[in-house]
Structure 1
C-alpha cells in the first residue's frame, strides 16, 4: 500500500514537472515575432500588443485560477488548458499560413488564449506539488519554476534544429506539443488526500538529516515552512498597504523593462543584422519588408534570434535558482535582507538596458546585454514571491502575488510605437534607442524605489 501511494505521488510529481516545462512558451515569442509581423503585415506596435496579450493572459488570470485551483482542485483544469493552448497556437499557425483571416485582433485573442492556458496549467501543477510534497517542498517548487523558465530555451533550440525559417510548422509543432503533453500530464496529476500524505518521495529519515541543507535550495522553502508567526494581509488591506504598493511599482518598472527587451530582442537582432549586412539596400527600405532580405539573411537572423532567446531563458533560469540559495544563505547566516537582491535585479537590468540601448551597435556584443537582462529578470521573479510571502502571509499568497506582479506591458508598447515611428529612416541602434531612454529612466526609478523600501523597512525582514 505504501509503495502504491509513493508511486502515485512520484508519477504525479513527474507529470507536474512535464506540465511546467510547457507553460512558459510566451517567453519564446521573439523566436517567431518578426516572421509573423512580416508575413501578416503587422506594425511593431501591433506585434508587441500580440506578444503582450500572452503575458496578460498569464498574469491577469492568475488570481482567478489561483482561487479555483486552491478551492476546487481537479484534473479538468489542466485538461481544458491543454485544449485551449492548442487552439491558440493552432489558430495563429493557420492565420500565418493564410487559412484563417488575417486579423490583428484575432491574433491578440489567440495569444491571450495561450497565456490563460499556461496560467491554469502551471498553477494546477504547483497546487499538486504543494499538496503531495511536504518534505523538500522548496526543492520541488524550485524544480518546477526552473523548468517553467527553461521553456523558451527548449523551444528555441527545437526551432533552430528542426524548423529553420519555417514558422508555420514551428507554430503547429508548438500547438501539438503543448496541447498533447499537457493533456497527458494532467491525466496523472493526482492529489493524494491529506490523510494519506504521511509517506514522502524522500524518506523521513533522510528529511531529518537533510532539512538544513535542503532549505537553502529554493527561496520558497523558508516562508513555506517557517514556524514563526506570519503576517496576513489580503484583499482591500493589500491595496491599502504602502509596502505592497511600492513593491508592486518596483515589479512594474523592473519587470516591464526586462519584458520589453525579452519580447523585442527579435526585432533588435534583425535591425542590427540588417544595419551591418553586406546588402546596403536593406537598411534604406521599410523594416518589415519580406521581399528584400534573402533566404540566407532570414536564416541567419533566425539563428541569432534563437540564440538570444536561449541565452535569456538560461540566465533567467539560473537567476531564479541562484537567488533562492543566495538569499537564504545571506539571511540565515548573515541576516542580510532579501530586498538587497531585488536591488541587485534592478541593477542587472539597468546595466543591460544601457548596453543594449546606447553602447552595443553590432550582434557580436549583444549577448552581454541579454545575459545581464536574463539574469536580472530571473533574480526579480525568483526573489519577489518570497518577499511577498514573508511580508503579507501565505493564506492568500497566490492572489497577493498576482496582484502585486501584474503590469509592466507599457514599455513593450512604447518600444513598438518608437520602432514604427523611425523604421523608414533609421538603421541599427537608431531604430530603437529612444525606447531605451525611457526604459533606462524606468530602471533608475526602480533603483530609487527599492532603496526607499530598504530604508523604510530597515528594522524589519
Structure 2
C-alpha cells in the first residue's frame, strides 16, 4: 500500500474516532429526566436546555464551517475537545450541587454542541476531500460514528453507572474530550495526486496559455490550485448549481424548461456581456460559439459563463472550426458560497428539508425519556428510578445503533445509486421520510412501553439514512472543496429553528397533561399519568411536516431530472453531429 493512501485511511479512522466523541448530544434524553427531577425543572425547561445544544450543533455550524475552511482541521478539532470536556464538567457540577440555573445549564449544553460540530464538521470535510471520487462512502464513516456515539455511551452508562447520573456525566466529559483530542493529531487533508484526483488530466495552468483567463484568488493558498478545465471537468467536478448556470447560458431556448429553475435566483448582474449586435431588443445571453475560445470573465459573482456575442450569429456556427473551452480556475470556481448561496432557491429548499427532518427526529430523540416515563407511570407507577433509567438508556442505544447502520448504509448506497444505477441520491431521502412517517405513526398507536422499541427502530434508521448521504448531496449541489464546511454548516443550521419549534410544541403538550397534585404523583414534582395521550397531539404536527417535506423533495427531484435530461441532449448532440453547434463549450 502506498504511503499517501495509508495516510488517507488513517485519516478516515481518526475521523471515525473523532465523530464518535462528537455524537453525544443524542445521549441527552438518557439523563434529561434525572436532571429534571434533581433540579426541579419542567418538561418545557428541559426541552429548552436541549435546544441550547441544538443551537450549538446547528446554528454554530455556520461559524464552525468558516473556522474549518479558514484554519484547516487541527485547530477546530482541538477546540472541540476542550469545549466537550468543559461542557460536561459543568453539567456534572450542576447535578452534584443541585444548581438549577437555566442559563448555566444552557451554556454547558451549548458548549457540548459547539464542540461536537467543530469536530464532526472537520471530520466530514477531511473524509470528503481525501476521497473525492467516493465521497458518499468516505463521509459515511464519520457520520455513522456520529450516530453510533449515543449507543456506545448510553451502554457504558447503563452498565457502569446505573443510577449514577453524576458519574455518567463525568464519563462523557473525559472520554469525548480524549477521543476528539486524539483526532486533532491525525485528521489532515492531503493534496490530490493525478492518480487519485477527480480529474486525472487536470494540469496546472502555465503563463503561456493565452486561451485561459487568469482569475484572482481570494487567498495565496488558492494560487497553488489554478488549473485548466474543460466542460467534462466542470460536469464531473462542478457543483450542480454551477452546471445548471452554465447550461442555461449555452441553451437559452431550454432555459424556461428546467435550467432557469435551478439558476434563476442567482443575481443576473453576475453576467457581463460583450455584444456586437445592433439590435435594440434584449437578447438571451449566449456564448460566442464560432470564435476559437470564448472569453470568460471570472469574479466572485460569476460562474464559468462565457461572455455573450450576438445571438443572431448562431447560424454561422456550423461553418466555423471549434475547439474545447478552456478556463483558468481555482477550486472555488466550481462552488457557490457566501451571500450567493442565500440567493439560490435550492439552498432554501434544502434548508427547510434539513430543518424539518432534524426537528421531527430530534423531538423524538430528545424526548423519548418523557415518552417512556409517561407510559410507565400509566402502566406501573411503582417502577424504580434505576429501572426507568435503564429503559431510557436502552432506547437511546437502540436509536443510536439504528442511526449508525442507516448512516453507513446510506453513504455507501448513495455512491452505488449514482455510479451503478445513474439515479439521484435524493431517492434515499424519500426512503428516510417514509421510515420517519412510519415511526411517528407508530408512536401515536403504541400504548405500552414494551412496544415502543418499534418507533425507536424506524425513527433511528430514518435519521441515519438522511444524514448518511446528505453531506454528499450538499457537496454535489454547492461544491465540495474550498467552502464545503461553510456551505454544509449553513444548510444544517436550520435545525436550530425547527427543533426549537417541535420541542416547544412537545413541551407545551406534555406539560398541559401533567398532574401537580403531590398526593397523586407520590412525592414527585409533576407527573403525567394518562399514557400516550400525554404527547400524541405533538406528533400530529410532526406527521404534517413530514408529508410536506416529502412533497417538496419530489418536486426537487423532478427539477433535477429535467436538468439531467438536458445534459443528455447535449451529450447526444456532440456525438451525432460532425461539427456540433455547441462544441465550443466543451
Q: TM-score, normalised by structure 1?
A: 0.83
1:162 aligns with 2:160: yes
1:397 aligns with 2:484: yes
C-alpha distance in structure 2 between counterparts of 1:198 and 1:331, whole Å: 23
Q: Counterpart in 1 of 2:462?
A: 376
Following superposition of structure 1 onto structure 2, how do residues 141-152 of structure 1 map, counting pairs within 5 Å? 141-152=139-150
Q: 1:256 to 1:225 in 2, by over 3 A?
A: farther
Higher mean displacement: 413-422 or 237-246: 237-246
> How far did 1:12 drift?
5.0
Q: 1:229 to 1:184 in 2, by over 3 A?
A: closer
Q: Counterpart in 1 of 2:404?
A: 317
Q: Is the 8 A contact 2:372 2:449 kept in 1?
A: yes
C-alpha distance in structure 2 between counterparts of 1:192 and 1:89, whole Å: 30
Q: Is the 8 A contact 2:435 2:461 kept in 1?
A: yes
C-alpha distance in structure 1 between counterparts of 2:40 and 2:137, whole Å: 45
C-alpha distance in structure 2 between counterparts of 1:453 and 1:138, whole Å: 20
Following superposition of structure 1 onto structure 2, how do residues 297-308 of structure 1 map, counting pairs within 5 Å? 297-308=384-395
C-alpha distance in structure 2 between counterparts of 1:352 and 1:184, whole Å: 37
Q: 1:341 to 1:460 in 2, by over 3 A?
A: farther
> How far did 1:190 drift?
5.6
C-alpha distance in structure 1 between counterparts of 2:542 and 2:106, whole Å: 24
Q: 1:45 to 1:445 in 2, by over 3 A?
A: same
C-alpha distance in structure 1 between counterparts of 2:353 and 2:172, whole Å: 33
Following superposition of structure 1 onto structure 2, how do residues 285-434 of structure 1 map, counting pairs within 5 Å? 297-356=384-443, 358-394=444-480, 395-405=482-492, 406-407=494-495, 408-409=498-499, 410-424=501-515, 426-434=529-537
Q: Is the 8 A contact 1:346 1:443 kept in 2?
A: yes
Q: 1:9 to 1:43 in 2, by over 3 A?
A: same
Q: Counterpart in 2 of 1:288?
A: none
Q: 1:192 to 1:113 in 2, by over 3 A?
A: closer
Q: 1:447 aligns with which of 519, 536, 550?
A: 550
Q: Counterpart in 2 of 1:284?
A: none
Q: 1:189 aligns with which of 186, 189, 202?
A: 186
Larger Rg: 2
Q: 1:240 to 1:74 in 2, by over 3 A?
A: closer
Higher mean displacement: 14-23 or 267-276: 14-23
**1:60-105 Cα shifts (integer Å, max 9, x gaps):** 1222222222222263332332222111111111111116x32011
Secondary structure of the 1:61 match is helix
Q: 1:265 to 1:455 in 2, by over 3 A?
A: same
> How far did 1:444 drift?
1.7
> How far did 1:13 drift?
4.7
What is the RMSD computed on CA atoms of the aligned residues?
2.7
Q: Counterpart in 2 of 1:264?
A: 367
> How far did 1:174 drift?
0.9
Q: Counterpart in 2 of 1:96?
A: 95
Following superposition of structure 1 onto structure 2, how do residues 222-301 of structure 1 map, counting pairs within 5 Å? 227-230=236-239, 231=242, 232-277=335-380, 279=381, 297-301=384-388
Higher mean displacement: 152-161 or 10-19: 10-19
> How far did 1:180 drift?
2.9
C-alpha distance in structure 2 between counterparts of 1:258 and 1:34, whole Å: 19
Secondary structure of the 1:21 match is helix
Greater per-residue helix proportion:
1
Q: Counterpart in 1 of 2:212?
A: none
Q: 1:246 to 1:131 in 2, by over 3 A?
A: closer
> How far did 1:133 drift?
5.6
Secondary structure of the 1:369 match is helix
Q: 1:87 to 1:368 in 2, by over 3 A?
A: same
Secondary structure of the 2:450 match is coil
C-alpha distance in structure 2 between counterparts of 1:17 and 1:199, whole Å: 25
Secondary structure of the 2:562 match is coil
**1:255-300 Cα shifts (integer Å, max 9, x gaps):** 21111101101110111111110x4xxxxxxxxxxxxx6xx52122
Secondary structure of the 1:440 match is helix
Following superposition of structure 1 onto structure 2, how do residues 80-119 of structure 1 map, counting pairs within 5 Å? 80-98=79-97, 101-119=99-117
Q: Is the 8 A contact 1:255 1:380 kept in 2?
A: no
Higher mean displacement: 373-382 or 68-77: 68-77
Q: 1:446 to 1:141 in 2, by over 3 A?
A: closer
Following superposition of structure 1 onto structure 2, how do residues 2-21 of structure 1 map, counting pairs within 5 Å? 13-21=12-20
Q: Is the 8 A contact 1:348 1:373 kept in 2?
A: yes
Following superposition of structure 1 onto structure 2, how do residues 24-39 of structure 1 map, counting pairs within 5 Å? 24-39=23-38
**Please, which runs of 5 or more residues in structure 1 have no aligned partner?**
201-223, 280-292
C-alpha distance in structure 2 between counterparts of 1:385 and 1:428, whole Å: 38
